[in-house]
Structure 1
Amino acid sequence: MILQKREVSKKEDEFRALLKEAGDKLVVVDFSATWCGPCKKIAPEYEVKAHLSVVNLTLPLFSLQDVSTDCGISCMPTFHFYKNGKKVDEFSGANLTTLIEKLEKLRS
């Protein structure tokens, strides 16, 4: 299984196009910021475990404010999970165990 990691930083259209392009693959969208303590805490371990997902999109929270607002992001890190362009689950926080459990469940 190949992990595709992309940082979305241009506009909402790019975000929507990437969701569509992924088709029925699991897409994990990581809403985070480089200055966020919990984001920095979970990032190294998450990247090691991220092979469990198929497509991983990182959205720096403030560079795509419209996407973050539309997705209802109120804290960081927040992970949204999509299949076929539709959100199927979400998780907020830096609990790596819970995040990996969600990845494994949704991947199957």
Structure 2
Amino acid sequence: MSHGNVQTINRYRIPPHPHLSQPGLTYPSANTRRSQPEFQEKVIDSKEAVVLDCFATWCGPCKAIAPKVAEFSQNYPQAKFYQIDVDQMSEVAAELGIRAMPTFMLFKNGEKIQDVVGANPPALEAGIKSLIG
């Protein structure tokens, strides 16, 4: 099972979701860090296309869409995929105006281009295609 190229902006590793086979990873991420400066660097200051997955560990729809996010991160290497746990990074989530999970924010050159709210793979994929197109 591929977990894609999604990185979590956070400082420490958290246990995997039950449906994943790789220990020490959040869906489908590898590096977990918690820091406002890293968010600024990876998302806001980036000159690349960025897909930001705003999730919560208790969120069922977040877990349900995780395999599709991993698939998209493999299929669209032109974009960088990151995720933030809204409970661990509540300050960033509040600044971004996150009100529902999952919320996917698409950025290009540090500017937010689009939000996709909810576990809606077709809408997310269309947004990614538009972002990198």
TM-score by length of 1: 0.88
Q: Deviations over 1:43-94 (max 9, x none)?
A: 1122112232521111011111110000000000000011111111111001
Larger radius of gyration, structure 1 or 2? 2
Offset at residue 19 of structure 1 (A): 2.1
Name 2:116's counterpart in structure 1.
Answer: 91
User: Match of 2:71, as an amino acid?
Assistant: V
Name 1:38's counterpart in structure 2.
Answer: 61
Identify if the C-alpha distance between structure 1 residues 37 and 4 changes in structure 2 by more than 3 Å, giving closer, same or farther: closer
Instruction: Return 5+ residue gaps in structure 1 as ranges.
Output: none
Paired residue secondary structure (1:22) = coil
Match of 1:12 among 36, 39, 44: 36
User: Match of 1:36, as an amino acid?
Assistant: C
**Higher relative contact order (Cα pairs below 8 Å, separated by 6+ residues):** 1
TM-score by length of 2: 0.73
Kept after mapping to 1: 8 A contact 2:45/2:109 = no
Instruction: Return 5+ residue gaps in structure 2 as ranges.
Output: 11-33
Quote the RMSD (CA, aligned, Å): 1.6
Offset at residue 22 of structure 1 (A): 2.9
- 1:21-100 equivalent positions in 2, closer than 5 A: 22-23=46-47, 25-51=48-74, 52=76, 53-100=78-125
Kindly, what percent of the aligned residue pairs are identical?
30
Q: In 1, Cα distance between the equivalents of 2:96 and 2:107?
A: 12
Kept after mapping to 2: 8 A contact 1:4/1:54 = no
